[in-house]
Structure 1
Amino acid sequence: MSAEEFRLHMGNDFFRTAYQLACQLGLYLEDQDKYTPRFTHSITEDEAEEYLEHWIQCYYAPNPFTKSLNGLSEPVYVVEELIKYLEQHNSSANLKDALTNIFHDPMGNMDIMTNALNNYSKVIVVKDGFAKLETNYKDYMRQMPNRNDKEAFFKNFDVENRKQKIVTNSLTNKYRPYITAIKSKPFLLLAGISGTGKSRIVRELARACWDEGTDEYKAQKPKNFQMVQVKPNWHDSSDLIGYVSRVSGKAEFVAGEFLKFIAKAWENTETPYFLCLDEMNLAPVEQYFAEYLSVIESRKSHEDGTVTTDPIVEKADEEWYFNLTASLTSDEDIRKQFNEQGICIPQNLIVVGTVNMDETTFSFSRKVLDRAMSIEMNEVDLHGGLTERNEPIGKLDKAELIGYAVDGVDVYAANKEVCETVLTYLDAVNSVLEGTPFKIAYRTRNEFLLYVVNNLPYKKGENDEELPQGYVVARALDEITSMKVLSRIEGDDTKVSDKLLDSLTETIEEGLKEVSGEENTVKSISLAKLKEMKDKLVSGYTSFWS
């Protein structure tokens, strides 16, 4: 179609502004006075919206479709430079002043720029002329395609690559606590009575990492999911990680399922990999999983967004070790990494243990509970799943499950006000726990900060209404209190008293109301659990675990 025909066909409204023209010229290629669609099908509104979210990250000034700025001799990417500026100014600044400072010249079309940032950037919000960084901006920026890789950029919009996206800031279904807990720490315990679907949730989370319709999505067991049934006779890591055998007369490492799965995760680091330890507490966890419990605490975040750990299998300058790495992977780069650094835990590996509490299982030591996120799954809706299949999770991107932050310091600067709210709440809770073995320390503080910050994007209610930030923070505080504070409290009436539980109840209730506001109170799971624990104490002993 010629350029003139194209304009007549689309109508004047299609070309209202230079901004829209810039967008449309990304969707269509003009060559020798002809417009060629970059799509192989009609463009839907959703596809155009998704395109704009990618496009704005590559928007630069000056460009062919906007008024040039006199002070610029080279293209400057607007969003990237604006983020850098806001990072240097406590995450907020007057937008016009910021752009003038960046480009050394007043920028026109401020209303268009404001609209573009608010609707498509996902990382910057402009209100009353002031630009502010969203708390999770680093995660979104890491998802952006390479602006120099044109093929990869436009492949996002091919028919066969259409994705059923999950919309994080409107996700209000039951999967949010699992997703944000995993992002805060990739070690999760799912506790509950038998038959509540604990292992199924892990499998479905793994499935949600693939595009709907692909072979992996339709597979009974996606390749990024591994179920390992824990055996009651496990008292070391030989069955799970492996061991050195000399039966043949020479040393040979026999790799366990966990180690093999680690290697698979290294081969596909862009996809989250889920290891499900079914009935995890049939054997003493701190014995058969000792290496992992140690290594998970060695995680370190880096400026490029990667997280590294100490090796779970130390490198050895011996034949058995080189044979092991060769058997684990055919990828030369990964094998070289294993040989030089040992076998470490990849950032995309998530470990989930399902837990049943009865007379056949072991209780968890504080060492295990301190290192894991815990979610209880005892609620059963007998009417659920009869009229329709299980609620779909949607498409999960890597950044929604895999966090770059490990310690509180990684999120504090960009979320200072929220973090101070969390610390005030924690101080009050810790004052009640003073003098007990349940007092919390730095590890738990870090996990509180990470969990609350990771929940900030989830600010849409069930009817798509905007939830007040106070409510979002209080909801997350309530959940993490149950996961990390109450899960550690157990003992007879010499360790756990009515007075302690009453004081905790009062402090948590007041703290949550202060954060959420009286008119936006949270339906508290931690207060319900405290009531249950107090009722148990009548027998002389209480525990978080049912």
Structure 2
Amino acid sequence: MLSRLNASQTKYGIVNLIEILKGNHLEDYIQGVYTLPRAINEPQLKGALGVESLIEPLPTYWEEIQEYPSSIGYFCMIAVIFSHHNYINVFIQSSSSNMKGILHKADFGSVKPFTNIRGVLIESKATSAEYSRSDDVPYDLSPLYKNGEVGLLVKELLLDRLKAIGWAETPSSEFTRDFYEQIKKYEFHKVFSLSIEQLILWLEGEALDTAPSDVESINFDEVVTVDTHLLTSLKAKQFLILTGPSGTGKTYGIRQLASTLNPLATMDKNFNITFIPVEAGWKDGKHLIGYRNPFSLDGETYETTPLINLLLKANSSEYEGVPFFVIFDEMNLSHVEMYFSRFLSLIETAKHPNLGKEPMLNVEELKLLKKTFKYDYEYIPLINQAIDKGGLFVSDNVYFIGTVNIDETTYMFSPKVLDRAFVIEKNSVKPSISFGISNNAYFVKMTIGDIYSYLLDEEPADSHPELISLLDGLYEILEDSFPFGYRVVKECNDYIVVAEELKDKFDVNLEWLSEINSLYDEILMQKILPKIHGNRKQLTHVLNELIEFCNEDGNIRFPKSHSKLIAMQRILQITGYSGFVV
């Protein structure tokens, strides 16, 4: 029966109805007193106004809407949509719920109806003028629902449209449903991007809660407990590897940090984190970054992944100030160099602005991705932003963390990977420490705002000659078997800089941050020792020299590294092979 609503879709000019109403010129326009450079097609105008003839009295809601100037555009838009059954069906299909949707040119039978309704969306302020030439138009109806009085007027308009197709409040052989049963049957609530319950509340005069869930919802003054060991390594480098026995909290620590920094935690607990269980046999990056699909029903598209979805959010102007976390569980079940090589390259080039940033997905791939997200209001604007920026990039606010276990089913990391990461070993501890009876030397209380600032602000430039001297001594020991280059030296220096920033700028008073030898100990553990592995012939002399290096005048100056080297030496003597991660 909706097919009885069939006002002209193809004539231009209905968008001007909004301008006429906002100026309170509707009666004058109908009487010919107020004119436009190009008149509105009369059948189209009658369909939008809901009248058979322009000489008959207009419904009272056209006068009453003048009391709500900010809603006039939206009200006109609703009137236009409910002037033709095709518009109604397209908006049902375009709805993404949550008061939003995306209009697609491909869903219209011809171009003119699409350009007309696109113009109405822009003029009503339901979408931005930036989409004036776009084939995909995201729209937001939430401002309309802030006023319950406007809902009452829309109810009168809908009643009139139903009556125009033969519905009556008194049941008949053709229509047996009451008003709300009928609009549910026709799925009018989807036109409004609401649930049926929400639409009924609004049509009965109740304003709806339209408060956005954005970054400002986080309480930056809230004081939380944070692991400074983890925080410092992430600040120094976006790529972190966590190794250690199963059950030592490798994944938990990152999840806890991500949850603490999640601005939308009450709405989406995984908003700023994605968890990727690595599977055996990954040979390329398609599991992470997706692939072109030439066989979809919409022609060639780009198949997305949870990681690409996260990068779209992280790249957006709305969320560029939010830390995002990617956890690779059991990262070494496949060769990391095979499936993660693209990321390793992009993370490095991003640190050198003079080289120019290379995108993870280029503009052509993003346009194909839009077809995959055809009816998803959340992601289409994010993809459009990425297209405007020239591609989807690995942005500075994304942190990659891999958890590692070593057994007969896993692979060792190559020097190429270890060179580009910090490595934290999570060892098992006494039960009393696990249950918080003893104080952990790395934990401190900070405000969420300070954690945001520490992670995301640009790190200060500084250098430490004493560190260079230390690294020279290490290089003399390792140059024949395990040499390291400029990247490792720079990242060791970065670590000292960001650790001192945490201590001084944010007034974090922990012993490990205050003692320079403790920081040097961490550098050995996280950047130098992880690359060391081999048999007796390769390691016996190197381990002896490194153990001696950790001692000075009979004192152990780097206790964590010394302890680890002794353990590696013991395993070497027993098995004939040893390494940092075994």
Match of 2:244 among 192, 196, 201: 192
Most deviating of 483-492 and 201-210: 201-210
**Alpha-carbon offset, residue 382 of structure 1:** 1.4
Where do residues 210-359 of structure 1 align in structure 2 (5 Å cutoff)? 210=262, 216=265, 221-248=269-296, 250-267=299-316, 268-300=319-351, 309-316=357-364, 320=368, 323=371, 330=379, 332=381, 335-359=384-408
Secondary structure of 2:288's aligned partner: coil
Helix, strand or coil at the partner of 1:193: coil
How far is 1:495 from its partner? 2.3
Alpha-carbon shift at residue 348 of structure 1 (Å)? 0.7
1:466 Cα offset (Å): 8.1
Per-residue CA deviations over 1:100-121 (Å, capped at 9, x if unaligned) read xxxxxxxxxxxxxxxxxxxxxx
Q: Which residue in 2 is equivalent to 1:423?
A: 468
Shift of 1:332: 4.5
Q: What displacement does 1:320 show?
A: 2.1
Q: Please, which of 421, 440, 452 is the counterpart of residue 372 of structure 1?
A: 421
**Aligned equivalent of 1:476, options 510, 519, 534:** 519
State the match for 1:96 in structure 2. none
C-alpha spacing 1:260/1:449, structure 2 compared with 1 (3 Å)? same
Query: 1:493 aligned to 2:536?
Result: yes
Shift of 1:299: 1.7
Greater shift, 191-200 or 389-398, is seen at 389-398
Q: Aligned runs of 1:531-546 on 2, under 5 Å? A: 531-538=566-573, 539-546=575-582
Question: Structure 1 residues 331 and 324, CA, compared in 2 at 3 Å: closer, same or farther?
Answer: closer
- 1:380–1:466 CA distance, 2 compared to 1 (3 A): closer
Q: In the aligned structure 2, how far is the partner of 1:343 from the partner of 1:190?
A: 27
Q: Corresponding residue for 1:34?
A: none
Provide the C-alpha distance between the structure 2 equivalents of 1:313 and 1:465, rounded to a whole number of angstroms.
Answer: 43
Supply the AA of the counterpart residue of 1:198. Answer: K
Q: What one-letter code is carried by the residue in structure 1 that aligns with 2:497? A: V
- Name the structure 2 match of 1:454: 498
Deviations 1:197-233 (A, max 9, x none): 111111111122258xxx61x6783411211111113
Bigger mean CA offset, 324-333 vs 529-538: 324-333
Asked if residue 509 in structure 1 is aligned to residue 560 in structure 2, the reply is: no
Change (3 A) 1:457 1:509: farther
**Deviations, residues 128-148 of structure 1 (Å, cap 9, x unaligned):** xxxxxxxxxxxxxxxxxxxxx
8 Å CA contact 2:550–2:558 kept in 1: the answer is no
Question: Retained in 1: the 8 A contact 2:331–2:402?
Answer: yes
Q: Which secondary structure does the structure 2 equivalent of 1:427 belong to?
A: helix
Q: Please tell me whether the aligned partners of residues 308 and 345 of structure 1 are also in contact (alpha carbons under 8 angstroms).
A: no
* Helix, strand or coil at the partner of 2:538: coil
Letter in 2 for 1:411: A
- Aligned AA (2:466): T
Displacement of 1:329 in angstroms is: 5.8
Partner of 2:461: 411
Deviation at 1:484, TM superposition (A): 1.0
C-alpha separation in 2, matches of 1:338 and 1:302:
20
Letter in 2 for 1:540: G
The alignment yields a C-alpha RMSD, in angstroms, of 3.6
SS state of the match for residue 504, structure 1? Answer: helix
Whole-Å Cα distance in 2 between the matches of residues 300 and 480 of structure 1? 20
Partner amino acid, structure 2, of 1:164: E
Give the TM-score normalised by structure 1.
Answer: 0.58
Number of aligned residue pairs: 355
Separation in 1 of the partners of 2:410 and 2:217? 49
For residue 547 of structure 2, give the secondary structure of its aligned residue in structure 1.
helix
Letter in 2 for 1:362: Y
Equivalent residue for 1:205, pick from 257, 261, 278 = 257
Residues 403 and 362 of structure 1: CA distance in aligned 2, closer, same or farther (over 3 Å): farther
Counterpart of 2:228 in structure 1 is 176
One-letter amino acid matched to 2:538? K
Q: Give the deviation of 1:380 after TM superposition.
A: 2.2
Secondary structure at the aligned position of 2:400 is classed as strand
SS of alignment partner, residue 223 of structure 1 = coil
SS state at 2:534 partner? strand
1:454-482 superposed Cα distances (whole Å, 9 cap, x missing partner):
1114549xxx978698x532211111111
Amino acid at match of 1:402: L
Distance in 1 separating the partners of 2:218 and 2:365: 47
**Partner Cα distance (2:571, 2:343) in 1:** 33
Change (3 A) 1:449 1:316: same
Matches within 5 A, 1:9-48: none
| Change in CA separation of 1:523 and 1:164 when aligned onto 2, cut-off 3 Å | farther
Unaligned runs of 5+ in 2: 1-215
Give the gaps of 5 or more residues in structure 1.
Answer: 1-157
Q: Distance in 2 between matches of 1:322 and 1:433?
A: 50
Larger radius of gyration: 2
SS in structure 2 opposite 1:444?
helix
Over 4 Å off, 4+ runs: 158-162, 324-334, 385-394, 464-469
| SS of structure 1 residue aligned to 2:423 | strand
Deviation at 1:399? 2.4
Pick aligned residue for 1:440 from 484, 489, 500: 484
Aligned-partner residue type, residue 495 of structure 1: Q
Partner residue of 2:61? none
Q: Distance in 2 between matches of 1:387 and 1:466?
A: 17
Contact 2:262 2:271 in 1 (8 A): no
The residue number in structure 2 matching 1:398 is 452
Shift of residue 485, structure 1, vs aligned partner: 0.8
What is the distance in 2 between the residues matched to 1:206 and 1:508? 35
1:402 Cα shift?
3.0
Match of 1:86 in 2: none
Q: Secondary structure at the match of 1:311?
A: coil
Q: Measured at CA, do residues 465 and 229 of structure 1 come closer, stay the same or move farther in structure 2, by a change above 3 Å?
A: closer
Secondary structure of residue in 1 paired with 2:287: coil
Deviations 1:12-71 (A, max 9, x none): xxxxxxxxxxxxxxxxxxxxxxxxxxxxxxxxxxxxxxxxxxxxxxxxxxxxxxxxxxxx
Identity %: 28
Contact 1:227 1:275 in 2 (8 A): yes
Q: Is the 8 A contact 1:283 1:361 kept in 2?
A: yes
CA contact (8 A) 1:315 1:321 kept: no
Give the partner amino acid of 2:417: V
